[in-house]
Amino acid sequence: MILLNYAHPLTPEQREQLAALLGASPELHDIPVQIDRSQSMAEAALRLAEAANLTPHAWQTMPLLINPPGLAPLALALIAELHGRCGYFPPVLNIRPVAGALPPRYEVAEIVNLQTIREAARGRR
């Protein structure tokens, strides 16, 4: 599995948590996210997808996991771009604050299966 990390670098503890959830360590691709807010989110999402350096074949065949950027409009545009390339919604990480931790720390809480959420929602239309 390939983890496309569009957020902060993962700590060793977060990598261990992720490996425990997946049953194996993913191949990590850290992708810097610095965008020009004067450009459209669609353009920024396209550039971020391109920065993954995956071939069209890889987009369609490799198991992918996404750690989305923190900027919500950008994260949504990126997920839409990736859906177009993959043909499905890739799963995403939910990284949450550790309650009461000083200094603040974050943990891998879950892997969110967006495709399953989409399929369940179709039954409610």
How many Å apart are CA 115 and CA 112, to the nearest integer? 9
- Determine the 3-state secondary structure of 88 from DSSP: coil
The pTM score is 0.94
- In the chain, domain spans: 2-122
| Confidence class for position 23, pLDDT limits 50, 70, 90 | very high
Say what the pLDDT of residue 121 is.
96
Cβ atoms of 13 and 107 within 8 Å: the answer is yes
- The one-letter code for the residue type at 32 is P
User: If you average pLDDT over residues 12-21, what whole number do you get?
Assistant: 97
What is the residue-averaged pLDDT of the chain? 96
Q: What is the largest CA-CA distance in the chain?
A: 44
For the chain, what percent of residues have pLDDT higher than 90?
Answer: 98
Say what the pLDDT of residue 41 is.
97
Cβ atoms of 6 and 48 within 8 Å: the answer is yes
Tell me 122's DSSP state. H
In this structure, what token pair is assigned to residue 97? 């604050």
Q: What are phi and psi of 100, to 5 degrees?
A: 75, 5
| Confidence class for position 106, pLDDT limits 50, 70, 90 | very high
Say what the pLDDT of residue 96 is.
96
Say what the pLDDT of residue 17 is.
97
Say what the pLDDT of residue 100 is.
95
pLDDT tens digits, 70-95 = 999 999 999 999 999 999 999 999 99
Pairing between strand 2-5 and 27-30? parallel
Cα separations (Å) of 88 from 24, 34, 69, 107?
A: 22, 26, 19, 26
